[in-house]
Each structure stands twice: as C-alpha cells, then as structure tokens.
C-alpha cells in the first residue's frame, strides 16, 4: 500500500463515559472510564479535487488552509500523520461522521482524533503502534482542550473499561459482565478547556483541600474497579454519588445540571453524576437493571438525547481496507 489509488479506509472510534475521577485525573488521580456505543467514523479516500479536504455534514475545508479554523482536531492529526509518514502523492478527501454530539462530555474530540489518526495512517499503509497513535491523537485533542490528561484518547483507542492515571498510564479492567448506564445529554455544549481552567483556579485557592480530594478520587476509583468487576451496583452507585459532590465543589456542576440530576435520582437508580468536564454536557446514572427501560422513557420525554448503553464497548476499529 502506498497511498493514492488505494481503496478508501474507514476507521471508527467510540466515545466514552468517565465513571469516577474526571478533573481530578488532570491533577494526578486515578480515574475509571469506559467506551460507549456511540462512534465516530473517519474515511480517507483519494480525491479528484486539486487539494486535500476535510468534510463533515456538508461543511468542507482544505487541510492546508491556515486561515481556516474549522476541523481543528482532524487538521492537526492529519498534518501530523503526513509529516510522520509522508504526504499522500495525490489529494485525499477525509470525511468525518459522528454519532456523538460535540461538547456533550462523551469524548467526541478524542474519538475524532483517534479515528483520524488510524484512518490516515492506514491509508498510507502504516500501522503505528498504540503508543505512537495515542501520542498523535493526544496532539489532536490538545488543539481543542488545552491540557487534557489523555484519558479520553485512551478510552476511545483501547475500548473496554480502563483505569487511568497520568503517572501509571492505562490499565485495562477485564469485565465478566457488562454494566448498563443511562446517559443523558443536558443539551448544553461546553468547552472542556474552560472547565479545566476553572478547576485549576479552585486548586490555587484551596491547595490542601484540593489535594485531599485528588487522593480521595484515586481511592474511590480503585474501589469502583472492585464494585464494577464484582457487579456490586449499590456500591458503585454510592461511589458515583459521592464523586458528584466533589465535582460540584470544584465547580463542574451548576443549577441546571443539579436539576437534571434531581430528575434522574429516583428510586430506580443506585447513583448518578456528571460525566466528563461538566458545566453542561452529560450525566450518567446507574439504574436498577429491571427499571432501566422505564427510567429511560421517563427521562427521554424531557431530555431527548438520552440513551441506555452497556459498557464497555470495543475501541478503535478499522472497518474496511
């Protein structure tokens, strides 16, 4: 394979939910995350046009037009792959299709980044190892998130359930049985980078308090691994509830998210919390299995972007060669 003239390549990568430890993971804590059944597909094929393009939902832009600010993640990653492995000999068309709403806290930019890195590399006949691929994908995420911990890229690329920390990297958590979660998108998009800065401010103001919350997030992350792998849902739900109070204290929640959580915190759930950066985005709830469908129906009447998912799901996939 040498690039142009080859059949198109499609790679897909999943979004994610963070079960414990978002934000605290940026400051060194362990966090537990799982891939979900909402994916991003990126296809690369040779183009008849004069120059290489990126497109999605009818918007099209040149890869090398420096004044254009659209598709920052795809542009960053594609350029990096081309500088690493050599530019394609003829123009290419990169097409992105996403099932994950942007700014929903479900890891859409990491999934776009991972799928773009894999699809463009494979188009050039390359198969970079997971470490190089995740470094490149992280560069893409940085183009929009400032200083991410790397957990979103890891969850999307590797799939499954993962325990992650900046120091010890990614540990896959084998799961005998899936866990069903209800995901509810508040409908409010927000910028992860802004929330990360807000939390950094809180840390500056209360360094001692903050450090102990980071340590507690690690402790509860490890407990959550036990609860998830043994299927102890009441325990897992209790941990989620407690983590929510810390997230709220560091400024990741707000009135409308509290109201959303109030609606899902019924007798049908063991626990619920923000997932991802907060400030908007999504919440996850851990429903009692026999009540999950009924809860979904009730919540979906008010929040149309709600869905049940069994975690974990598969990570990065090359869908066709």
Tokens of residue 34, six digits: 């799982």
Work out how close the CB of 65 gets to ligand MEV at its nearest, in angstroms, rounded to a whole number.
28
Provide the minimum distance between the beta carbon of 158 and ligand MEV in the complex, in angstroms, as a whole number: 15
Nearer to ligand MEV, 33 or 54 (CB): 33
For ligand MEV, the closer CB: 67 or 167 = 167
User: To the nearest whole angstrom, how small is the minimum distance from the Cβ of residue 234 to ligand MEV?
Assistant: 26
DSSP 226: H
Which of residues 9, 11, 19, 26 is near ligand MEV by CB under 6 A?
26
Among 14, 15, 148, 279, binds ligand MEV (CB under 6 A): 148
Single out the residue of 9, 13, 18, 285 in contact with ligand MEV (rule: CB under 6 A): 18
The residue range among 20-28, 124-132, 228-236, 261-269 that interacts with ligand MEV, by the rule CB under 6 A, is 20-28
Q: Which of 53, 98, 104, 149 binds ligand MEV (CB under 6 A)?
A: 149
- Measured CA to CA, the distance from residue 180 to residue 196 in angstroms comes to 28
Return d(Cα 61, Cα 78) in angstroms, integer: 13
| Smallest distance, ligand MEV to C-beta of residue 253, A | 13
Pairing type for strands 179-185 and 282-287 reads: antiparallel
Residue from 192, 223, 253, 306 binding ligand MEV (CB under 6 A): 192
Alpha carbons 30 and 266: distance in angstroms, whole number:
29
Closest by alpha carbon to 113, among 82, 84, 71?
A: 71
Q: How far apart are CA 78 and CA 123, in angstroms?
A: 11
Q: Are strands 53-56 and 92-98 parallel, antiparallel or unpaired?
A: parallel
In the range 255-284, which residues lie near ligand MEV by CB under 6 A?
276-277
**Which of 191/288 has CB closer to ligand MEV?**
191
CB of 164 to ligand MEV, least distance (A): 9
Closest CB to ligand MEV among residues 9, 252 = 252
Evaluate whether 72 touches 144 at the Cβ level (below 8 Å).
yes
Three-state secondary-structure class, residue 167: coil
Distance, CA of 204 to CA of 1 (rounded, Å): 52
Neighbouring residues of 155: CB distance < 8 A, sequence distance ≥ 6: 14, 16, 18, 33, 34, 35, 107, 110, 162, 164, 315
Residue 296 CB, nearest approach to ligand MEV (Å): 23
Catalytic residue among 131, 152, 215, 268: 152
- Binding residue (CB under 6 A) for ligand MEV from 152, 244, 268, 313: 152
Cα separation, 311 vs 180, whole angstroms = 6
Of 34 and 95, CB closest to ligand MEV: 34
Q: Is 258 a catalytic residue?
A: no
Give the one residue of 25, 257, 260, 285 binding ligand MEV; rule: CB under 6 A. 25
Give me 296's structure tokens.
């979904």
Tell me the C-alpha distance between 235 and 237, whole Å: 5
Q: Does 244 bind ligand MEV (CB under 6 A)?
A: no
23 scored as a contact of ligand MEV (CB under 6 A): yes
Cα-to-chain-centroid distance, residue 265: 24
What's the residue count for the chain?
321
x/- track of binding to ligand MEV for residues 95-114 (CB under 6 A): ------------x-------
Residues tagged active-site: 152
The site for ligand MEV (CB under 6 A) is made up of: 18, 22-23, 25-26, 107, 148-149, 151-152, 192, 196, 276-277
């Amino acid at each position: 394979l040498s690039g142009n003239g080859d059949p198109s390549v499609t790679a897909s990568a999943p979004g994610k939910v963070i079960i414990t430890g978002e934000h605290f993971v940026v400051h060194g804590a362990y966090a537990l995350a799982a891939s979900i059944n909402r994916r991003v597909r990126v296809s690369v094929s040779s183009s008849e046009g004069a120059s290489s393009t990126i497109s999605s939902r009818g918007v099209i832009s040149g890869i090398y037009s420096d004044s254009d600010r659209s598709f920052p993640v795809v542009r960053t990653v594609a350029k990096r792959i081309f500088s690493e492995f050599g530019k394609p000999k003829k123009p290419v068309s990169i097409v992105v299709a996403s099932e994950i709403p942007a700014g929903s806290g479900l890891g859409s930019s990491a999934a776009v980044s991972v799928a773009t890195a894999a699809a463009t590399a494979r188009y050039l006949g390359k198969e970079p190892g997971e470490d190089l691929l995740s470094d490149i994908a992280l560069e893409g995420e940085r183009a929009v998130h400032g200083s991410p911990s790397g957990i979103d890229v890891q969850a999307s690329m590797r799939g499954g359930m993962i325990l992650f920390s900046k120091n010890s990297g990614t540990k896959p958590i084998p799961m005998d049985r899936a866990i069903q979660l209800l995901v509810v998108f508040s409908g409010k998009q927000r910028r992860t980078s802004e929330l990360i800065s807000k939390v950094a401010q809180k840390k500056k103001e209360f360094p001692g308090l903050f450090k102990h919350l980071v340590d507690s997030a690690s402790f509860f992350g490890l407990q959550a691994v036990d609860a998830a792998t043994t299927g102890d849902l009441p325990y897992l739900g209790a941990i989620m509830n407690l983590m929510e109070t810390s997230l709220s204290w560091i400024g990741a929640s707000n009135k409308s998210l509290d109201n959303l959580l109030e609606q899902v915190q019924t007798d049908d759930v063991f626990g619920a919390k923000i997932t991802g950066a907060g400030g908007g985005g999504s919440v996850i709830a851990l429903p009692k299995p026999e009540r999950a469908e009924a809860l979904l129906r009730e919540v979906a009447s008010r929040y149309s972007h709600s869905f049940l998912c069994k975690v974990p799901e598969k990570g990065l996939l090359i869908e066709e060669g």
